Amino acid sequence: MSTTDVLTASARAELPAAEAPYASLILPIHNQADHISKVVNGFLDDFAKLPRPVELVLVPNGCYDASAEICAELAAQRPDRVQLVGPLKRGGWGRAINEGLDASRGEVLGYTNSARTTPETATLMLAYAMAYPDAALKAQRRIRESALRRAGSVLYNFECRRLFDLATWDIDGTPKFFPRRYHHLMRLSSDAELYDLEWMRACRYAGYPVIEIPIYPTERFGGRSTTSYKSAARMLLGAYRMRGSFQSAPPGGVLPGETGATGTGADERLPAGELGRVAG
């Protein structure tokens, strides 16, 4: 067990039950030293409007700037409402979310793009989560900021709709929130760009109701997008390969403590090379 794991377990044990957060919002962070402090403080200020407490789970991953140090300072300033996981040496959208889920304490779990999500959007989504406790929620972005990104998004979403019979035109829209008991969303195996597709596919397979909340996305607060021509090509090809894995196994994960016929327990993460596999 790592030092971070020990500290996280200790923090959980010392937190009074009355102060346990209702929801946990995971923020994967990659080279965002220029704006992450403002983003986190903005979230905390806006979450104060909600009737129930919300924690932020910061997951610096693959950073080579001061993001991890800034996140550590933020967690030290508000240990009751900010957790630090990592920093992770290897970057990866899905990898960061999975690690954040393992540390999250809320009844409702969520994640979002910390470079583009406004506090108002996250608070609105959490209000919906309180009103609809039996649904998974996701944002649906109405406008993309450039013609090229819009074209790439339409192509990718059209492919995913055709391959998996999904009813959304914004697979990657965040924030996403869901009840902790939706266990098929707790053990997704994608470590990178295909995480959101696997999330949608798991909801489709498990029959989880999904409510889409329309939002108007903003420009990045700072830093550089990790989406490139190379990553876009990986997503298009990866979606097709994931379709093949769907023929032999459903998506998602296992119930906590559950062991299937293969002997794989809940403590073992599924191999990244087997997208969408379920233990058992």
Which CATH number goes with the domain that contains 135?
Answer: 3.90.550.10
- How many domains is the chain partitioned into structurally? 1
User: Is 77 contained in some domain?
Assistant: yes
Split at pLDDT 50, 70, 90, the class of 83 is very high
Split at pLDDT 50, 70, 90, the class of 238 is low
User: Is 277 contained in some domain?
Assistant: no
User: Is 274 contained in some domain?
Assistant: no
User: Is 268 contained in some domain?
Assistant: no
User: Is 234 contained in some domain?
Assistant: yes
pTM: predicted TM-score of the whole model, two decimal places = 0.77
- Could you tell me the sign of the dihedral formed by the alpha carbons of 88, 93, 99, 104, in that order? positive
User: Is 269 contained in some domain?
Assistant: no
pLDDT in tens, 33-48: 999 999 999 999 999 9
Q: Which residues, other chains included, contact 24 with Cβ-Cβ below 8 Å and sequence gap of 6+?
A: 54, 55, 56, 57, 100, 104, 105, 106, 108, 109, 110
Provide the pLDDT for residue 229: 58
Residue range(s) defining the domain that contains residue 45:
3-246
User: Is 259 contained in some domain?
Assistant: no
User: Is 278 contained in some domain?
Assistant: no
Long-range contacts of 239-244 (CB under 8 A, 24+ apart): 239/156, 239/159, 239/160, 239/163, 239/194, 239/197, 240/159, 240/163, 241/275, 242/163, 242/194, 242/197, 242/198, 242/201, 242/275, 242/276, 243/163, 243/164
Residue 79: Cβ within 10 Å count: 14
